[in-house]
Structure 1
Amino acid sequence: MSNNAIIFISVALILSALSFAMDRQKTIAGFKRGWQMFSRMLLPFLNILIIVSVVLYLISPDDIQHYLGAGSGLLGFAIAAVVGSITLIPAFISYPIAAGLLQQGASYAVVGTFMTTLMMVGVVTLPLEIKYLGRQAAVIRNVLNFFAAIAIGLLIGVIL
């Protein structure tokens, strides 16, 4: 276990004990609600993690390096931006995916583009956005965020 994990767990235990000492009922209620949220998220999280693991196993590191690596150029950015824009994955699940892509040889710039479009662009959620924000605002928001994600990915590439 890493030092960061030990620190975070220790802080969580100390704060939980402090909360329990201050108000047992609220702390217990909070733990129950947290457990319910965790149990609802666990199955989808495991399903996506399994699917991604199988896909990363089936796709060779050479292919990932070729299409998403440092030498992939605009094609790598385009693939990452499009896949990130149309994929609907919660943020906490996307981090292990990004780590897996990096381990398989994808470049930081391309993974940065993928992660940024994943968080900021929502092709799947566009109809809902149009309903609440209006067509023009929703489309402008998504288009600007798409280009911002590519710019962020390029900036990551320059820095790293």
Structure 2
Amino acid sequence: MKIAVPSNRPGLDGQVSNRLGSAAYLVIVDSGDMSFERLDCPSGASGPGAGVAVLSLAVESGAGAVLVGHVAPHIAAALEKQGVVVATGVSGSVADAVADYLAAAEETGASGGSGTAEATPADPSGRWGEAAKKGLRQFYAMLPRLIGVILLLGLLQGFVSRETLFSLFAGVPFLDALWGGVLGSVMVGNPVNSYVIGESLLKAGVSLAGILALMMAWVTVGLIQLPVEAEALGKRFAVVRNLAGFVMAVLLSFAVGLWL
């Protein structure tokens, strides 16, 4: 069986790429004798649609499995319907990743020799149950942070006076939306935290336009994680997406604030 592995180097000693779009090469390994061939990923592979282009190379090469750090679930499902197994959460060297995959496939009784692995349709009810379990686990993991945000807000209200707060949010809808967008762009954390902060600011008397802009920018703009997004999806895409998110957050919040 041929196994496709996106990598930063054209050999078995290269590291498995976390995302398909950030890979410089696609290494096609024959599981029978560990021989391999190198395919160059499309130039400018970090741009939009690069991951799909790399997957097309893998399918055209006859690969029966793709090993990668992360891939969108709907893309993985589409490949598995065609009989191509997608293994995510893979890291380390290409050689180690292939060896680990073959060992796991042998333990589960999957085909580790020649041929194409067949994907079995997943039970929809099982997917819903697994999704519910993951959601509960994420909420449980997020709860201590949420409590921490509430406690920090209490300290903020104690040390930051209303005069200081209103010197920033002066009640002018557009300026409030602009400042809210700026704060939301640089603040990081779970989006749920923005709801708690927004409620606290609303009770303090901050205008709705500023609060809406803060919450929208918090979810759609991320200046802190911009370098990571640029590496994964491309610098141009990351800059344009964040800039568009900031502008839309300010304009929509200003419009909604005036309307309400």
TM-score normalised over the length of structure 1: 0.72
- Pairing 1:149–2:249 present: yes
Which residue of the partner structure matches residue 115 of structure 1? 215
Question: Relative contact order (C-alpha < 8 Å, sep 6+): which is higher?
Answer: 1
CA positional deviation for 1:95: 0.7
Whole-angstrom distance in 1 between the partners of 2:207 and 2:246: 19
- Pairing 1:45–2:146 present: yes
Instruction: Determine if contact 2:173/2:254 at 8 Å carries over to the other structure.
Output: no
Instruction: Determine if contact 1:65/1:104 at 8 Å carries over to the other structure.
Output: no
- Pairing 1:106–2:206 present: yes
Any gaps of 5 or more consecutive residues in structure 1? 1-25
Whole-angstrom distance in 1 between the partners of 2:205 and 2:199: 10
Q: Which amino acid aligns with 2:230?
A: I
- Greater strand share, structure number: 2
Which residue of the partner structure matches residue 60 of structure 1? 161
2:189 is aligned, of 83, 86, 89, to 89
Whole-angstrom distance in 2 between the partners of 1:87 and 1:79: 12
CA positional deviation for 1:82: 1.5
Change over 3 Å in CA distance of 1:89–1:69 after alignment to 2: farther
Change over 3 Å in CA distance of 1:146–1:30 after alignment to 2: closer
Any gaps of 5 or more consecutive residues in structure 2? 1-126
- Greater helix share, structure number: 1
Q: Which amino acid aligns with 2:149?
A: I
- Residue by residue, what CA displacement relative to the aligned partner does 1:76-106 show, whole Å, maximum 9, x if unpaired? 3343222110111212121111010010010
Q: What is the aligned-residue RMSD (CA, Å)?
A: 2.6
Which residue of the partner structure matches residue 224 of structure 2? 124
Identical residues among aligned pairs (%):
25
- Higher deviation after alignment, 47-56 or 95-104: 47-56
Instruction: Determine if contact 1:66/1:72 at 8 Å carries over to the other structure.
Output: no
Instruction: Determine if contact 1:68/1:105 at 8 Å carries over to the other structure.
Output: no
Whole-angstrom distance in 2 between the partners of 1:109 and 1:32: 36
CA positional deviation for 1:56: 2.3
Instruction: Determine if contact 1:109/1:156 at 8 Å carries over to the other structure.
Output: yes
Instruction: Count matched residues.
Output: 135
User: Over alpha carbons, which structure has the higher Rg?
Assistant: 2
- Higher deviation after alignment, 45-54 or 136-145: 45-54
